[in-house]
Amino acid sequence: MYGKVLICDPVDTVMTDKLKDKFEIDYKPKISSQELLEVIKDYDVVVVRSRTKITKDVISNGKKLKIIARAGIGVDNIDTDYAEEKHIKVVYA
């Protein structure tokens, strides 16, 4: 396994099917902001759509975080400047 992935918003099963062979996947499409702050420390990758906000606090708590993936276009819900400062890649598709 390459690491742990937290999926915070509803995504098509095609995505989870492609990832499950290489990553440990936790699918929590209704995770609250508070719970995200508490659990993000355990994950290498976080996947969001537009509902979940990846703030400076979330990034700071994500001690293992290497990638923030946005399923969709635009990254307005992600603090990209702080992610870059912390050497965390932000990708979208």
H helix and E strand count, the chain:
4, 5
Per-residue pLDDT of 48-57, as tens digits, reads: 999 999 999 9
Q: Residue 2: pLDDT above 80?
A: yes
Per-residue pLDDT of 63-93, as tens digits, reads: 999 999 999 999 999 999 999 999 999 999 8
How many CA atoms lie within 13 Å of 37's alpha carbon, on the beta-carbon side? 6
The domains found in the chain, sorted by start residue, are 4-92 (3.40.50.720)
Euclidean distance between CA atoms 60 and 55, whole angstroms: 9
SS3 at position 78: strand
The pLDDT, as a whole number, for residue 5 is: 97
Find out whether 50 and 11 touch, Cβ atoms under 8 Å.
Answer: no
| Burial label, 36 (beta-carbon count in 10 A; 0-12, 13-18, 19+) | buried
pTM recorded for the entire structure:
0.94
